Amino acid sequence: MSIQKNLLKLKKNVPEGCTLIAVCKTQPVDRIMEAYDCGQRVFGENKVQELIPKYEALPKDISWHAIGHLQTNKVKFIAPFVSLIHSVDSPKLLEEIHKQGLKVNRIISTLLQIHIAEEETKFGFSEEEIIELLSSHMWNNLRNIQVKGLMGMATLTENEDQIRREFRSLKIFFEKLKSRILPAQFQMQELSMGMSGDFKIALEEGSTMIRVGSAIFGQRNFPPEK
Residues that bind ligand PLP (CB under 6 A): 23, 25, 46, 67-68, 195-197, 211-215, 224-225
Nearer to ligand PLP, 100 or 192 (CB): 192
Q: What does the alpha-carbon distance between residue 33 and residue 41 come to, in Å, rounded to a whole number? A: 10
53, 56, 105 from 47: Cα distances, Å:
11, 15, 23
Whole-angstrom CA distances from 1 to 8, 18, 21, 215 are 11, 24, 19, 10
Closest to ligand PLP by CB, 8 or 104: 8
Between 142 and 211, CB nearer to ligand PLP: 211
3-class SS of residue 45: strand
Min separation Cβ 111 and ligand PLP, Å: 11
Nearer to ligand PLP, 10 or 94 (CB): 10
**Residue closest to ligand PLP when measured from CB atoms:** 213
DSSP 38: T
* Shortest spacing between CB 10 and ligand PLP, in angstroms: 10
Q: Which is nearer to ligand PLP, 68 or 149 (CB)?
A: 68
Give the shortest CB-202-to-ligand PLP separation in angstroms. 11
User: Nearest approach, Cβ of 112 to ligand PLP (angstroms)?
Assistant: 14
Q: How far apart are CA 129 and CA 73, in angstroms?
A: 23
Task: Supply the minimum distance, in Å, between the C-beta of residue 212 and ligand PLP.
Answer: 5
Q: What are phi and psi of 182, to 5 degrees?
A: -115, 160
- Which of 115, 63, 117 minimizes the C-alpha distance to 89? 115
